[in-house]
């Protein structure tokens, strides 16, 4: 571990941060429905087809324009509140992201959020 990693404080809450959302471009749903099906993706289709359509339209637009597919803020990220606009529908990857963990500190470091 280098000095930058040690100097970055461990946080206990996502409030006022949003660093992990700044580089994922769109919510990281798994769209493969074998053993580890993405329940949130299926729920989104049932309960909020408008949001599912928004995600699909954004993805297709990025395909037509050759990206970007990463290193831009998540489509659902609200820069004013620094929170997810559709938190209740966030995918498994977002549910499991450990606040204060190594990936959290890495995201904060890359985003310049302390």
17-38 pLDDT tens trace: 888 898 888 888 876 555 556 7
61-97 pLDDT tens trace: 999 999 888 888 999 999 999 889 999 888 888 888 8
As for how many domains the chain has, the answer is 1
What's the domain range around 21? 3-111
Cα–Cα nearest to 12, from 100, 97, 114: 100
Cα–Cα nearest to 90, from 49, 41, 35: 41
Alpha carbon distances (Å) from 110 to 21, 92, 105? 11, 22, 9
pTM of this structure: 0.76
């Amino acid at each position: 571990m280098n000095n930058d990693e040690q100097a970055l404080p461990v946080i206990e809450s996502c409030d006022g941060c949003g660093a992990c959302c700044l580089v994922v471009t769109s919510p990281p749903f798994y769209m493969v429905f074998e053993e580890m099906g993405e329940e949130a993706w299926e729920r989104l289709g049932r309960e909020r087809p408008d949001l599912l359509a928004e995600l699909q339209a954004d993805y297709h637009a990025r395909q037509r324009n050759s990206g970007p597919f990463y290193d831009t803020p998540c489509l659902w990220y609200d820069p004013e509140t620094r929170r997810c606009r559709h938190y209740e529908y966030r995918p498994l990857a977002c549910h499991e992201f450990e606040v204060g963990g190594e990936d959290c500190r890495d995201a904060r470091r890359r985003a310049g959020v302390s």
